[in-house]
Structures are given as C-alpha cells and as structure tokens.
Structure 1
Amino acid sequence: MLLHILIPDQSTQQRFDPFNADAGNGLFPNGSYITPPPDPSRVYTPWNTTLAKKWLSELKNKPTIVTIDNEIEIAHSTHQDMHPDPIGYDEELKRVVDFATASKEVLPDVPVGAPSTCSWWFYWTSVIGWSDTAAHDNIDFLPWFLAKMKEAERIAGKRLLDYLDIHYYFQPDTTANDAAAKALRLRMTRSLWDPNYVDESWVGTDPQNHQWNPSSVNLIPRMKTLIKIYYPGTKLSISEWASTNDDDITGGLVTVDSLGIFGRYGLDAATYWATPAEMGPVGLAYWLYRGYGTYFGKFSAQVNLATPNHDTQGVYAGTENGKLTLVIVNKNPDTAIAFDLSNMPSGTYFIRHFGGGAGVAKWQTTISLKANNYIVVPAYTALFLQQK
C-alpha cells in the first residue's frame, strides 16, 4: 500500500516565503493545522547551544539581559511549523538550563531571565495540562521551575537564572471600551498587588491552580513570595505588559498607575508591549515619569490617604538625593479629587500632568508649595511633582 503525505507548498499554505516555496507557516489557507505536520528540518536549521554561543560571542552590542525562549509553552501553536509537539515541564526546563548554561559561558556577567511565560494559566501548568502537573507531584509549574533552577545552580556551581521572567496581561475583557469597560480597566491594576481584589474574569471564578488565595492574582507579592520560598535571590521581571487600550485616556492612566505600583512593590524590571505613540496616552504616561531632567525616586516615601479608593485613585511617592517626587492618578471620569498635602517639604516643585477634559493635553511648569497645601487633580488626570 502506498501512503501519500501532503507536503504543502506556497499554493496550499496560509503564509509562505515567496522566495522559498517550502518555507511556510504550516497552516492551510483557512488557518487549520496541516496534519501530519511538515518536517521542520526541510526549511529550518535546528538551533542548538553551539550556535547560540557563536551568536552571542559575535554580538557587537552586548545585551543587558538574556532571556531564554519566549512563550515557549505555546510554541506548538504559534510556531507549529518549527515545533509541532506540545511542550511540557521537562522540555521547558531543559531548554532553559541548556541555553542559560551556554549564555553564562559566553557572557558570564550578563543576567539571564526565564521562562517568559505568557499568561496566568501557564504560570501553573503546561499546554499538556493537569496530567503533566500530576506527573510532577502536583506542583504548579512556576514553583516547580524555581526549585529546579535552584537545583541546577547547585549542580552547575553557579547561578543560571537571575530573573524569574513572566508576561502579564489583564484577563477581563474591556474591548467594548464603554463606560463600564473603562472603569473595569482602571480597576484591574489592583490585580498587580491587592490580595483582596478578586479578579473580574475567569481567574476569579475558576483559577485553575494549587496556590493560596487562588482567585486573587496579587501578582507582584505572589511572585516574590514564590521566589522567597523556592529560589531566594532571584529577581522578578515582567517583560510583557500593556494597558489594554493604548489609544484611550484610560490606557494612559492604567500605565501611570501600573508604573507607580511597580515602584512601590519593588518590581526589578518591566517592558511594555509594543511601542506606543509618543503623544498618545501611554506615551504621555512615560513622559510623566521620564521626561527630560526628571526622575522618579529610588526610595519609597510614606503616603497616607484618609479614605483611599484604589479603584479611582493612586498616589505614589519616592525620594532620591533627599528630594521628594510624587505621582497622583485620578481615575474618576467626571470628578476632581482634592488632596491635602500635609507635611510635604515646602519650596519650589516642578509639576507636570496630562489628561483632563482635553484627553491627552500635557502641561508643565514650576510652582511653590507651603508646608500644608490643598491640591486639586481634575478627572482622568495624572500629575507628577518633583521637589527642586
């Protein structure tokens, strides 16, 4: 009996290299998977640690951090043409150990981050599912991974993982972008830190993990606790995150709020997904913190609010070289908030803000403050103050 196996070319694949008929994405034009999958070796050169070391050694601009893989747990879907088989705990760990070892041999002073996991679901299991978790003593993936990387350090005689690197995207759906969706978007930053905030998505009703308080994401404190338990000394990185709507003023306010939370809770590194427009809401959120000649303090300062409402306001303070910096976010769509700035050092302050009724209007100047001042922050506005 003859067995005929279809090897798709440019006429049958959804996308392909016009200069190489064999190099397609492994999907039919309707988006369905080609079965059996084409042999990846026909169009790809297998990547290995020897090639990785050669590439790293020849880089003219050395990286500040090396991350191993990127959302590798879904590679069978996103890169079905390269790796059609689902990736489980063991393969993901082996890839990280092998390539981290290679990186440390070539660039011993450059930190390594991994596993760059894509979402809440894959923090706790693999794409294979709970049978894979059960096969690993019912230990959720990231705790298991941290413990194994600690063991890898003992075997290698050196640390191979410097940053626990994850991706984080808010799970609730705000695509409607109506008043309710905007309010939800602005509340969702609580998932970064608040153990009392039940996530307003499937995570809050069907969390699918074996962790404490599983319906609350509580992202940064949770991950720092896992690090403390399973691999102390590891830093925490969120190498992908986003506002959920870069073109809406609420996306800019979410970004300001998130950056303040990152500072308050000691996140070590973060990278925004995609490049926002410089004068758009998210671009202005970064301008607020990082505009020419300004900085946000390296050391936290205490801020007390009489009646804090984290759904509608955020206040973040820091100090550097004895100078105070303060960021206030008013997430109310139509209500100004008055703040009593008691016991702030008097003197001249650089001030800048964006938002308000004009949407993304920005403005900056210097003002004088006394020891006690009321300051009114308009609706949908973020404000930055820096002591001169």
Structure 2
Amino acid sequence: MRIIPILTILFILLIVGNPGFAQTPVRVDIDLTKPTKAVSPYIYGKNNVLPNTFLTSGTSEEVTKAKEAGVRFIRQGGGNNSTKYNWRLKLSSHPDWYNNVYANDWDIAAKNMFDKLPGVQGMWSFQLLGMAAANANNNFSDWTYNQSQWWSGVAQNLAGGGQPNKAGGAKATVEGNPNLYLMPWTADSTVGILDKWFGAKGLGYDKSKIQYWSMDNEPEIWSGTHDDVMKTQCSAEEFMQLYFKVAKAARAKYPDIKLSGPVPANEWQWYRWGNDGIPSDGKKYCWLEFFIKRIAEEEKASGIRLLDVLDIHYYPETSDAAKCVQLHRVFFDRNYDYPEANGVHTVNGGWDSNINKEYILGRCSDWLTKYMGANHGVGLAVTETGMKSTNANVQAVWYASILGEFMKNGVEIFTPWSWDIGMWETLHLYSRYNQENYVQATSQDETLISAYPTVNATSDSMTVVLVNRSLTEKKTVDLNISGYHASPGSCPMYSIAGLGSAETFVSHASNALKKTQVQTTTSRISIELVPLSVNAIILKSLVMGSTPELPKNNFNATAYPNPANDQTTLDFSLPEKSTMNIALFNSNGQVLKTIINSAFEAGNHQLNLDTSNYPDGIYWIRFYSETNVETIKLIKTKNQ
C-alpha cells in the first residue's frame, strides 16, 4: 500500500477546496479569416414600449429608456389583446380582464414611434380570429365589484352580461354574450389598416418603418385565451385557411410586407395543436412542421409569398439559477438535453421520452429547408419570452447569452415580453457597443464561457462580448484572435456584474457599466471574469494612416525588389524563437492580407509575397511579435 505524505494531501485539499485557487484558463478562439455574418439590428427589441392609451407599460419614461439603451425594434400589438383589436373604432377586448373593452389607439402608438424613436422598426398585428371589439357599453363593472383588484376570476367571461363565480377560477356562473361587445371582422377588415396608415388618402405613415406584421397571436390556445368566441379549438387546417386569406390580402396591398407567424405560445405548443399531432398525408405532424409544410404547399399553389419570418414564443418554468443561465441552449444547441423537455417528446407524432434535445429554431430551419428549399429566405424570431429568476445578474447573463446565440445563428427579431432588472443594462451594452458583423468564435467550455465577437464593416474595430455563466467562480479566459491584428497595449472593457435589486439603467451616460482597462497584444488577451458577468472588450486594429510613423527597426525587415511588380521577397531576422505576424495594409490603413501568423526559429527568414492582384500604389507591411513591431513601405508599380 502506497502512503501519501500528509503535506501532499493537504495541498490537494487546498486546491480542491479553495475556489479562489488558480484554475486552468479557458481558451477562446476568434477567427476573422472565416466568413462573418451580418447581425440583425432587430434582435435589440422590446414589447410594448409606446404609449397608446391602453397598455400601462408604455410610458414616456419607457420610451426614453428605449432610446437611450438603443432599442431598434418594438412589437406593439399587445399580445393576446391584439386578437380582437378594432382599428376603426380604436378598441380592444382584454381576454385577461373579463373580456372588457378598452380604448386602444394604435395610430397614436405608431405616431409616437415616428416622433420619439426615429430609425426604430415597428411591428403590429393582423387579426385572424374573425371577431373584434365593438363597444364598451357592455363591460363588466370591475370597479363596482372589487375596485378593479386582481383576483383568480379575472379571466372569467363577464363582459356582455355575465355573472361572476365568486369562488374564482376561469368559469363564470353565467357567461357573458360576446355578440354584445364584439363584431364580425373579416380578412379585408383586418388588412384595411394598411390603407389607413400607408394609403394616399390615409395618415401617410412610412411603411418602410412598419414592415413587419404578426399574424395574430398564439392561435393554438384560442379556446383558452378567447373562449368567449371559440368554445372548441378550431383545427390546425381551419386556422391555416384563416391565415392564407389574411396573408394574401395583405400581400396584395403591400407587396414588400414582412409576414410573421405562427407565434405559438410555448414549448408544448411548438409541437401540439391542442393535445395531439396533426394528421396529414397519412401521418401525424407536429404543429410547427405542419405549419411550414402547409405554407410551402400554398405558396407553390398560389405563387404568393405567405411567410417571411417564422416566429415563436417561449416561457420556461424554471427559476433555478443554474438552469436559467443555460436556457439559451434551447434554440440551437443540438447536444443539449433540456431539463424541461415536454412537447419535444411528441415531435415525431407519438410520445418518446428519450427525445430531450430541443433545438427548436434549429428544427424550424431544417423544416424550412425540407419543404421550401435551401434558399427559402425565411427569417427566425422569438417575439415573446421571459425568465422566472429574480436575480438581476442571472437575468443579465440569460439575456446576454440569448442575444449572443441569436447573433451567431442569424436570428432576425427578438423582443422579450417580461422585462426585469439587468435587461436594460444588457441591451444597452450590446446595442451601443457591438459591431455590425458576427465573427466566428469557439470556447473550450461553452457551458460556462462564451465569446460573441462582432466587427465593423471596415474591420478596424472589434467588440468581443465574454459571458461568464458560473454562479460562483471567477474564470480566466485566454483569448486568441486570428485574422485580426489588434493594436497592442491597453483597451477598454465594459462589464455588467454585481447588480442589486433596484434598476440601475437610466441612460447611455448613467448606468451600471464598469469600465476597466485590459492589456492586449496583437492577437492575444488574458482576462479574468467575475461570476455571472457580461463583459465587452473594445479592440482597435493596427490601422495606419497614409503616412504612418515608422517604429524603431526591430527585425531588420526589408522587401526586394521595392518598387515591386508582381512579386517581392520579404527578408527579416529574429534574435530568438517567436510567433510572427506579418500583414499587408493599403494606404488607408486597412488590412488587405495576413501574410503569415506562425512561429519562427531564431535567425534570418525569407517569404515571397505575390502582389499581382493589387493595383499600383503605396502599401505598408507590418511585422510584429508579442514584444516588437516594425513597419516598412512597399511601392507597387508595373514600371519597375
């Protein structure tokens, strides 16, 4: 038996038991040599920002915060309150408050957007149910009943002469008559708002700022949310026929419109219509696959585009912090066993409890390609979601992780419904400091550490967002960058961490962002991230002006011939083994080519540079290692 010395045991216990002990760094690789992907500005979105005399969440303070934080997209329909909206009378029926009818002015909301949030894109909704609010004369007198206080019977159908069930619950003692407060609403009625807003004789609104229209809201649960009208849930095919009528009528009036649907309510409804699959062609389909299949079939039959954005809702149940910070993986991660998987067990028509990998937007992408072809052009969206943890730092990390994954996977629209402390700060950090194009990145530990880098159009500025999802541990990250040559020295890092229970975001100038400086070489950064933090490092490239100051000669670098014709030879020497980076810049300081990025032994070295594809002019070649830098001038001319 081997006896382990007591000091060794104590040392092992010290390592294991001390969370502050130095850990193996997490390697993160960013590769700008691979194709970048445009980031949709519409993922920086929010629901119910604008005052419209109905939704109390829309206030002037909300509008100011939206502007300061950099909101780029607003979904203003009001969720379930949009289904029975009457744009002619400016009325809505509130399904979560006795079906009572209230004033709701979308005209005012849209005008507020144009006036107070210039440059923001708006989304409103079309009504497909077939009934819309008609008057407020038959409301249930909730003030008389209990001074308009919430109780368990607020969803009872009491408008139209109903009698409340004082025991609470969903069912009234006497149901109200919907014909007393609603009116028929056809496809022509619902799309008539396009004439009012955009027509020559209408309000003259700019339709390019209101391109997106939601095809109603959560139709697969209408028999619950709108059971005053729909006592028994319509079939999936009946809904599709309603959808087709409105979509075709809208496209005829506004050819460039962006139609978004079918907006299912939650994970179970992604797959089930009611409690079952949908029979078609001799098999049962889950709801989203059936929807995509029917859209593809009707588009082929009619020649009319009927879907531009595939949109879903998502409301997870967990409040456990460790699970909440992993919820971003539900959308695209094909290896993630989702603890709350339920509806996905039925994705193939039956019930298989072994199917736990959700990747719902990945599945939708697969179905879109299967039924509509590789170049279908349909975007992806999540226009309602929320998370139950009340910890502001968990909220910030959850939201930041979803934004990062949506950037990575090209999601078009993201508008959370629930809005909690930590989210304004995160939205502001992303919208204000991110660049236009996503850069591919990988982490050795994507469970806890992810990098979401973006670069601008000229590749001279890069923002690297680093998220630490660990609830308790600091994490050291070794960041390695290929195809981008950062200016060495110090660069700013903005961090969200240690948030409390009160809102901290006021404006772009007044918020909880903590600014520090991190040290960087041309291609590497080592940084420590505190637990539950969102961090953005702002890098500038080694961009030179047309007449840069030449640094001290460190590598004895030369190019010959110089002036060059179609080729030149680079000659340089190294006093010791080193990783060398050599890049070619044009006279405007933009990187044209990474010539080399690899390790060299000490001594003299030569490299051939092909210049045949570059026009005549002045160029700069920069040689740099982690400690030294040298720039030489190269002239390209055919007359050499």
Under a length normalisation based on structure 2, what TM-score does the superposition of the two structures give? 0.52
Matched residue, 2:255: 108
1:210-289 correspondence runs (5 A):
210=348, 214-232=355-373, 233=376, 234-245=378-389, 248-276=392-420, 280-289=421-430
2:346 and 2:422 mapped to 1: Cα distance?
34
2:98 and 2:384 mapped to 1: Cα distance?
28
2:499 and 2:267 mapped to 1: Cα distance?
36
Paired positions, count: 359
Q: Is the 8 A contact 1:326 1:386 kept in 2?
A: yes
Describe the shift of the 1:131–1:202 C-alpha distance in structure 2 as closer, same or farther (beyond 3 A): closer
Task: Measure how far apart 1:248 and its partner are.
Answer: 2.5
1:101 and 1:264 mapped to 2: Cα distance?
33
Determine whether 1:352 maps to 2:494. Answer: yes
Matched residue, 1:313: 449
2:406 and 2:251 mapped to 1: Cα distance?
28
1:239 partner SS: strand
Which amino acid in structure 1 is aligned with residue 534 of structure 2?
A
- Could you tell me which runs of 5 or more consecutive residues in structure 1 were left unpaired when the two chains were aligned: 1-12, 175-180
Structure number having the greater helix percentage = 1
1:373 partner SS: strand
Task: Measure how far apart 1:368 and its partner are.
Answer: 5.2
Describe the shift of the 1:219–1:239 C-alpha distance in structure 2 as closer, same or farther (beyond 3 A): same
Task: Measure how far apart 1:64 and its partner are.
Answer: 2.1
Q: Is the 8 A contact 1:242 1:272 kept in 2?
A: yes
My pick for the range that moved more, 355-364 or 13-22, is 13-22
Which amino acid in structure 2 is aligned with residue 381 of structure 1?
S
Matched residue, 1:118: 265
Report the structure number with the largest CA radius of gyration: 2
1:262 partner SS: helix
Q: 1:21 aligns with which of 125, 132, 138?
A: 138
Describe the shift of the 1:52–1:66 C-alpha distance in structure 2 as closer, same or farther (beyond 3 A): same
Matched residue, 2:310: 164
Deviation string, structure 1 residues 136-174 (Cα, Å, up to 9, x no partner): 73122211211111121123222111111111233x421
Identity of aligned residues (%): 19
Matched residue, 1:385: 537
1:33-44 correspondence runs (5 A):
33-34=171-172, 38-44=176-182
2:442 and 2:258 mapped to 1: Cα distance?
37
Task: Measure how far apart 1:68 and its partner are.
Answer: 0.7
Task: Measure how far apart 1:366 and its partner are.
Answer: 5.9
Task: Measure how far apart 1:228 and its partner are.
Answer: 0.9
2:382 and 2:288 mapped to 1: Cα distance?
14
Matched residue, 1:3: none
Deviation string, structure 1 residues 229-272 (Cα, Å, up to 9, x no partner): 12231221111123333652101110001100111122122111
Determine whether 1:375 maps to 2:375. Answer: no
Task: Measure how far apart 1:383 and its partner are.
Answer: 0.3
My pick for the range that moved more, 227-236 or 195-204, is 195-204
Matched residue, 2:318: 173
Q: Is the 8 A contact 1:337 1:379 kept in 2?
A: yes
Task: Measure how far apart 1:382 and its partner are.
Answer: 0.7
1:296 and 1:246 mapped to 2: Cα distance?
30
Task: Measure how far apart 1:116 and its partner are.
Answer: 0.8
My pick for the range that moved more, 211-220 or 62-71, is 211-220
1:238 partner SS: strand
Q: Is the 8 A contact 1:44 1:82 kept in 2?
A: no
Determine whether 1:362 maps to 2:500. Answer: no
Describe the shift of the 1:314–1:242 C-alpha distance in structure 2 as closer, same or farther (beyond 3 A): farther
Describe the shift of the 1:349–1:46 C-alpha distance in structure 2 as closer, same or farther (beyond 3 A): farther
2:418 and 2:254 mapped to 1: Cα distance?
27
2:527 and 2:292 mapped to 1: Cα distance?
46
1:381 and 1:264 mapped to 2: Cα distance?
19
Describe the shift of the 1:246–1:39 C-alpha distance in structure 2 as closer, same or farther (beyond 3 A): same
Structure number having the greater strand percentage = 2
Describe the shift of the 1:317–1:284 C-alpha distance in structure 2 as closer, same or farther (beyond 3 A): same
Q: Is the 8 A contact 1:350 1:386 kept in 2?
A: yes
My pick for the range that moved more, 350-359 or 66-75, is 350-359
Task: Measure how far apart 1:94 and its partner are.
Answer: 1.1
Matched residue, 2:224: 77
Task: Measure how far apart 1:329 and its partner are.
Answer: 0.7
Determine whether 1:198 maps to 2:345. Answer: no
1:138 and 1:99 mapped to 2: Cα distance?
26
Q: Is the 8 A contact 2:212 2:257 kept in 1?
A: yes
- Could you tell me which runs of 5 or more consecutive residues in structure 2 were left unpaired when the two chains were aligned: 1-96, 103-135, 142-155, 159-163, 198-202, 505-511, 541-640
Q: Is the 8 A contact 2:295 2:306 kept in 1?
A: yes
My pick for the range that moved more, 249-258 or 358-367, is 358-367
Deviation string, structure 1 residues 202-253 (Cα, Å, up to 9, x no partner): 529x722217983111122222111111223122111112333365210111
Q: Is the 8 A contact 1:356 1:378 kept in 2?
A: no
Determine whether 1:324 maps to 2:462. Answer: yes
Matched residue, 1:183: 322
2:472 partner SS: coil
Which amino acid in structure 2 is aligned with residue 385 of structure 1?
I
Under a length normalisation based on structure 1, what TM-score does the superposition of the two structures give? 0.83
Matched residue, 1:153: 299
Matched residue, 1:46: 184
Specify which structure has the bigger relative contact order, considering alpha-carbon pairs within 8 angstroms and separated by 6 or more residues: 2
